Amino acid sequence: MTEERLTSDESAAERNKAADEAANVHYLSPGDFEIFEQGGVIRLTLPNEISYIQVYAFRTYPLSHPDNYISLRDGEDEIGIVKDLKEFDAGTQAILYELLERRYFVPRVRKILSTKQRYGGMTWQVETDRGVRSVITKNLHEALSENGPGRYFITDTDGNRFEVIMDEIAPEDAAWIESVV
């Protein structure tokens, strides 16, 4: 029994250690890194550590805290978290906001001009606040998702999102969306 208990205690300790390591968040403060653009690509260097060739920014709380807890990543790996963008100098803020704008660029649909189903997918012609766009989606039910009452996202095959606010589009377009969701 003592042997069983030791094994159980050891495995619990190992699980706790793994959880602690997984939860280990590296917060980035001003002066912890240098971020810059080179040849249209955003790069980040941690002094005396490593340089990352291409950096991406993700909002961990995009609706409630859009300027706080920004995850900086190199592909799938997290480099660290910026707690508050306002703590950084204007140049760093500008680059981080540019990264976020690239990531969260979401045109708003004003009118559905046409839709055409082919080969299990759908091609949409839509007028957005950024001009007319052709949007290609896979399965309609996977591509159209509700994001609160009267708000939907259309996600295309490349992962780009287009926002639809039902009160802001023509009644016939809203009725069509309601009929397919």
For residue 40, give both structure tokens: 């249209």
pLDDT digits (tens, 9 = 90+) for 126-159: 999 999 999 999 888 788 988 888 999 998 887 7
Higher pLDDT, 104 or 77: 77
Angstrom distance (rounded) from CA 83 to CA 60: 10
**Alpha helices in the chain, H assignment, sequence order:** 2-23, 90-103, 140-143, 171-180
Phi, psi (rounded to 5 degrees) for 105: -70, 110
pLDDT at 2: 47
Domains in the chain: boundaries: 21-103, 108-180
